[in-house]
Structure 1
Amino acid sequence: MGFHHGLSGLNASSKNLDVIGHNIANSNTVGFKNSRAEFNEMVASAMGAASTNNTGIGVSVAAVSQQFTQGVITPSANGLDMAINGDGFFVVQTGTGIAYTRNGAFQLNKAGELVSVNGDKVQGYAIDPATGVRTSVALTNLVFPTGAPIAAKQTDNVKAVINLDARVDHTATPAPARATYGTSLEVFDEQGMATPLAMYFEKTGANTWSVYDSLDPAAEPIGQLTFDATGKLVDVAEYDGTATPPFVSTGGTTLTTTVSTNNPNATVPPGSNPVSDPVVTLDLSGVSQLGSAFSVARLTQDGYASGELTSVNVGSDGTLMATYSNGITRPEAQIALAKFTNTQGLQPDGNNNWVASSDSGPAIYGAAGSGSFGTIQGSALEESNVDLTAQLVGMMTAQRAYQANAQTIKTQDQIFSTLVNLR
């Protein structure tokens, strides 16, 4: 027995206690992954000696391995908090480069950038708000319009789902007032000023209705709807007072009309840019003629006024949906996730971040829920995966091992003392 056996055991037990202490200290750190000290036996052998003559000379710390098991996901009150359920890491841009983390406690900084609690900029994909489709596969900082409102959008399309009462007698005298079968909704010009778009329907034949946009008795219709015997819309014609007959079929189910918004900027001095009245396409494919009362099931339009950002929420695929004060909710970006061939090869970088290494291999980027990537749960955080009970038991075991190794050194010292004191 030599002192180096006990000394190596003390060093190994001390390292084990360091690892356990680090785990316990981070038991409340969001997204933290616990570590485990792993040991190797050390053996000395003489050159050319038989294997049975090899002697043990102690222990060494082979590695401190990370345990990337799933932590418990708990709800939170912050809509920007995110937790990954499954494989993957959030990608962040730090002051020294790209890093990876499981800590999804995110927030917006003063520039509107999505950042971690350390100020690292979260990476993802830009999305076209109009289509919800990625505009690039390159990673970028995720920025939201917090310093200024989003621009208004002019109304281009209106869709109506309406039932016209087939029981109306078009030969009745007097005819029903034009306002009897009418409805309206607000549309917007390019500066976001709202004005009502009215639609009034007058039955002119057994299966035909004229469409007006005004209650003025002198106003001409903007179009005519024709239905078949089952009440299905079969033709939409636009009014053309110069043609004979005055209604010309569009070959589809839409009408076009210009809406006067009464915007004072619509008429401006020469040389400036006037605000034009919106030209709106009315989609009337949802209009029917059935034997039930006139009813408006749905009126929708695609314009809106300017609006301030009010909240951001995340979907399971990482799509960030922004809600604005004008009632618009639209996709603004998508969180990117990364995974690795050998997760154990990641190097801890502090601040609950890891960086790629030659052992981990390069990062593979993708969207949550695709392939083997996990999904993202919004308004939730992944707790540390440290099991405090197991760590405390391990700490007691490591403490006893430390004491036992110290005892071997004490025993060796007593043996040497006996030898030295021989008379």
Structure 2
Amino acid sequence: MSFYTSLNGMKNAQTSLGVISHNIANSETFGFKRSRTEFSELVAGSALSNPRMIQGIGASVKSITQNFSLGPVEQTGSALDLAITGDGFFTTRSAIDGSTLYTRAGSFTLSGAGNIVDSSGNRLQLFPVDANGQITGNTLSDANLPTQNAAGAEFVGVTIDEVGVVSASYADGSTDPVGAVALATFISPTGLKKVGQANWEGTGLSGAATYGAAGSGAYGSLLSGSLERSNVDIAEELVGLITAQRNFQANAKAIDTATQISQTVINLRS
């Protein structure tokens, strides 16, 4: 029994080491959210067991829980670098299969087609707006900046304000609102599924996305010219790394001790 109890402990410590290593590896990844490993106790007993004699049989990994606390904000000066001050997520459309992705990494650029995209080519989603920048509907569409305005003037730049209104500037001095950045929130963000590149997908555990504009409710305002860094605390992760290593060593020592006891019993002579 003690062999398998300690073996499970070693496997759990190894899982914890893997999670911590992943956190440390992504300490410089914009929009990354750290995870922690949670364990639960295992016991063996029945309805007829004496509750004072029920024996524990180790632990198992209960969950690997994501931490969505806000990371440090770094100023970059680029108009298309965006940071969210609240709980919202940027909504993007996958360039590969058209699926909807959510991210906190706001490093966007302009594509050759005039779309606002992330480093993987996923297209930022906007709400439609009128000429005054007021949202006119909740249908999401790709952020696309026309290369010319109605007067034929060439595109020269883009700005995004704190409520997410994207405005294109043209050579004749005019500015045209293109749309408003659509932010998403979830009733249970820890249920979101990681898909890499600091992107998540909605699941049944996270609940359906609720969309809204920046500057309202829990969505948070936008900071143009800034990026949210990883929320990994290196000092905290290193302490966790040492703890997980000691846990692994202690379980290994328990197996070694159980082996010695078994060997002693086997060597007993009458």
Q: Kindly provide the CA deviation profile for residues 172-217 of structure 1, in whole angstroms up to 9, marking residues without a partner as x.
A: xxxxxxxxxxxxxxxxxxxxxxxxxxxxxxxxxxxxxxxxxxxxxx
Question: Which structure is larger by alpha-carbon Rg, 1 or 2?
Answer: 1
Counterpart of 2:19, as a letter, is V
Q: What's the counterpart of residue 198 of structure 2? A: 352
1:285-312 Cα distance to aligned partner (Å, 9 max, x none): xxxxxxxxxxxxxxxxxxxxx3211111
The residue number in structure 2 matching 1:315 is: 161
For 1:74-99, what per-residue CA distance to the aligned partner results, in whole angstroms no more than 9, with x for missing partners? 10132101000011100011134111
Question: 1:136 maps to which residue?
Answer: 137
Which residue in 1 is equivalent to 2:255?
409
State the shift of 1:328 in Å: 1.4
Q: State whether residues 27 and 234 of structure 2, in contact with CA within 8 Å, keep that contact through their aligned partners in structure 1.
A: yes
1:110 and 2:112 matched: yes
1:46 and 1:133 map into 2 onto residues whose CA distance is: 64
Question: CA separation in 2, counterparts of 1:77 and 1:377?
Answer: 10
Partner of 2:223: 377
**SS of equivalent residue, structure 2 residue 52:** helix
Counterpart for residue 92 of structure 1: 92
Alignment of 1:4-403 (within 5 A): 4-94=4-94, 95-96=96-97, 97-128=99-130, 130-146=131-147, 149-152=148-151, 306-403=152-249
Tell me how far apart the structure 1 counterparts of residues 31 and 129 of structure 2 sit (CA, whole Å). 27
* Offset at residue 419 of structure 1 (A): 0.9
CA distance in 1, matches of 2:193, 2:47: 38
> Identity over the aligned pairs, expressed in percent?
43
The one-letter code sitting in structure 2 at the alignment partner of 1:363 is A
Tell me the residue number matched to 1:232: none
Q: CA deviation at 1:47?
A: 4.6
In structure 2, distance between residues paired with 1:55 and 1:362: 42
The number of residue pairs the alignment matches comes to 267
Partner amino acid for 1:35? S
Structure having the larger proportion of residues in strand: 1
Please name the residue that 1:276 is paired with: none
| Alpha-carbon displacement from aligned partner over 1:20-67 (angstroms, at most 9, x marks no partner) | 000000000000000000000111114511221210111100000000
Q: Mark the runs of 5 or more structure 1 residues left unpaired by the alignment.
A: 153-305
The alpha carbon displacement at 1:329 in A equals: 2.1
CA contact (8 A) 2:126 2:182 kept: yes
Whether the 8 Å CA contact 2:133–2:165 is kept in 1: the answer is no
Letter of the structure 1 residue corresponding to residue 101 of structure 2: A
| 8 Å contact from structure 2 (residues 79, 158) kept in 1 | yes
- 1:145 maps to a residue whose letter is P
Match of 1:219 in 2: none
Q: Distance between the aligned counterparts of 1:72 and 1:328, measured in 2?
A: 35
Residues 307-346 of structure 1: CA distance to partner in whole angstroms, max 9, x if unpaired? 2111111111001122212111232111000001111111
Equivalent-residue separation in structure 1 for 2:197 and 2:190 (angstroms): 18
Structure 1 contact 126–142 (Cα < 8 Å) conserved:
no
| Distance in structure 2 (CA, Å) of the matches to 1:85 and 1:132 | 21
Deviation at 1:389, TM superposition (A): 0.6
Shift of 1:132: 2.5
Q: Which residue in 2 is equivalent to 1:282?
A: none
RMSD value over aligned CA atoms?
Answer: 1.2
Q: How high is the TM-score relative to the length of structure 2?
A: 0.95
Distance in 2 separating the partners of 1:419 and 1:46: 30
Give the TM-score taking structure 1 as reference length: 0.62
The structure where helix makes up a greater share of residues is 2
